[in-house]
Structure 1
Amino acid sequence: MVVKSELKLIKSLQQKKYRNEHGLFVVEGKKTLEEVLGSKIKPYKLFALDPKSVTQKSIQTVQISSRELSQISSLKNPNGYLGVFYIPTSKAQTTSDWILVVDGIQDPGNLGTIIRLCDWFGVRDIICSLDTVDCYNPKVLQATMGSIARVNIKYTPLKEFLKKTQLPIYGTFMDGENINTSKLPKKGIVIMGNEGKGISRAVAQQCTHKLTIPQSGESTTESLNVASAAAILLHEIRR
């Protein structure tokens, strides 16, 4: 059975500072948990109502009660399993393909969806500003639907990162070049900005190209959701 100190540890991992302190994160949801268990991300422990139902025998599985699981779960209706994994070390970024940069995204659902989109379109590297929501936030993880296991994510000061790159840097702006008629290269960097403020001024100054998604019809909508915009941009990049 689970000891109280371990329950306290797992509960603390709902907060970013304790995830960073212990180098651990929690995964819930059947689909996401299966994807992460099948990846190269190193498991710490799996907690299950019925350990005998766990097919992955290589991971240490601890039996947990429904009451204990409810205490440590971030889900309204825990599904019987909770995995704890070691936060992987970020790998070096590719220079032969596109890299997606996110500047100050705050909504966990948006970041999770963007990670899933990068997985779908084969973009393996995401660079996040230091003020972007943590990719190991439980709500981000749920939105990735397991794609977190296949995308390399790094948090770093964007200004310094962009200054060092030799790749063309494409920013998304309201007054940019029409994405539909732009001639995009085979590799580069594309930046998605904050939900309300867009790309920060310091990062915008590093952009070598400006892109926009043209509006159709007579809609008075001010702007696209950042995850929706990322889907359109990634589609055009691959097209």
Structure 2
Amino acid sequence: MISKSDIKYVSALQIKKFRQKYGQFIVEGEKCIAELLISSYNIKKIFATSEWIATNNGLLRNISCIETIQEELKKISHHPTPPQAIAIVEIKENVEFPSLKNKISIALETIQDPGNLGTIIRIADWYGIENILCSQDCTDWMGPKTLSATMGSFTRVNIHYCDLQETISKASVPSFACVLGGSSVYDIQKKDEGMIMIGNEGKGLSESLINAADFRISIPRPGKAESLNAGIAAAVICDNFFRS
């Protein structure tokens, strides 16, 4: 069963400042944890049903597992219907900032919606994009809602928080700002390297980042919808960047 101290600790990890304090985060759900088990992340503890433990026993190695029931998992889950497993995971330390040469990366400015960030991480994984650069005021990728939206893709995509203005100025790859009134993304030929820049859900990219970009691109709008959310826009743009 889950102890009161475990309930208190896992509840604390729902909050960013405690994730930073303890150097750990939580991952919920069978799909996300299945990806975790075959990743390089260090899993500290798993709370799970007996059925889940029996099914995944061969992958658990020396991981500490606390057998419990879903009614108990409900006490530490942010989902209305609790999953069969919840893991406490160690945050990777001293992750080296990546080289952006000879690859496509995504830069995100002030993305606030956890679902959007999670979706973009999943899209990056789909297209084999290894790195996402986030402005310091983007939502935390280790938040429960973001992780759930990634469906485990966070295990294969590196997310870095940085000064985007400085990073773009030093990057030796072309940068593409997604804006209204730019060149059609449909006219872009397949790229071997570049940085796709996507801005805040309501305001888009800041003027300073737009001015720092090498190119301005847009998704043509034949219909009347006012806008696309950041996740959908990322999918359309990535598809055109990788299309032969």
The TM-score by the shorter chain falls in which range? over 0.9
* Corresponding residue of 1:93: 98
The CA deviation string for residues 183-214 of structure 1, in whole angstroms up to 9 with x for no partner, is 45420111011110000122222111100111
- The equivalent of 2:131 in structure 1 is 125
Contact 1:91-1:152 within 8 A present in 2 as well: no
When the two chains are superposed, the root-mean-square deviation of aligned CA atoms in Å is 1.6
CA deviations on 1:1-32 (whole Å, 9 max, x unpaired) are: 44322221111011111111111111111111
Aligned length: 237
Conservation of the 8 A alpha-carbon contact between 1:170 and 1:191:
yes
Which whole-Å CA distance do the structure 1 matches of 2:42 and 2:92 have between them?
8
The residue aligned with 1:34 is 34
Give the direction of change, closer, same or farther, for the CA distance of 1:171–1:100 in structure 2 (3 Å limit): same
Per the alignment, in what secondary structure is the counterpart of residue 234 of structure 2? helix
Residues 189, 241 of structure 2: 8 Å contact kept: no
- Inter-partner Cα distance in structure 2 for 1:183 and 1:7: 52
Superposition TM-score, scaled by structure 2 size = 0.92
What's the CA shift string for 1:122-170, capped at 9, x where partnerless?
A: 1100000111111111111111000000001101121121121111111
* Identity, % of aligned positions: 35
| 2:27 and 2:87 in contact (8 A); partners too | yes
Where does 1:214-225 land on structure 2 (aligned, <5 Å)? 214-216=220-222, 219-225=223-229
| Deviates most, 150-159 or 72-81 | 72-81
Please say which of residues 184-193 and 112-121 is displaced more in the overlay: 184-193
2:159 is paired with a residue whose SS is strand
Q: Which residue of 1 aligns with 2:152?
A: 146
Q: 2:175 aligns with which of 154, 157, 169?
A: 169
- Distance in structure 2 (CA, Å) of the matches to 1:155 and 1:25: 17
48-57 vs 187-196, which deviates more? 48-57
| Equivalent-residue separation in structure 2 for 1:208 and 1:221 (angstroms) | 28
CA distance in 1, matches of 2:3, 2:226: 52
Match of 1:3 in 2: 3
**Distance (whole Å) between structure 2 residues aligned to residue 2 and residue 108 of structure 1:** 27
* Residue 73 of structure 2 is aligned to residue 69 of structure 1: yes
Q: Offset of 1:65 from its aligned partner?
A: 4.7
Please tell me the residue identity of whatever aligns with 1:164.
Answer: K
The Cα of 1:52 is off from its aligned counterpart by 4.8
2:231 corresponds, among 219, 227, 233, to 227
Secondary structure at the aligned position of 1:190 is classed as strand
Q: Which 10-residue stretch deviates more, 166-175 or 58-67?
A: 58-67
Paired AA for residue 103 in structure 1? E
Show structure 1 runs of 5+ residues with no match.
none
| In 1: Cα distance, 2:49 partner to 2:190 partner | 51
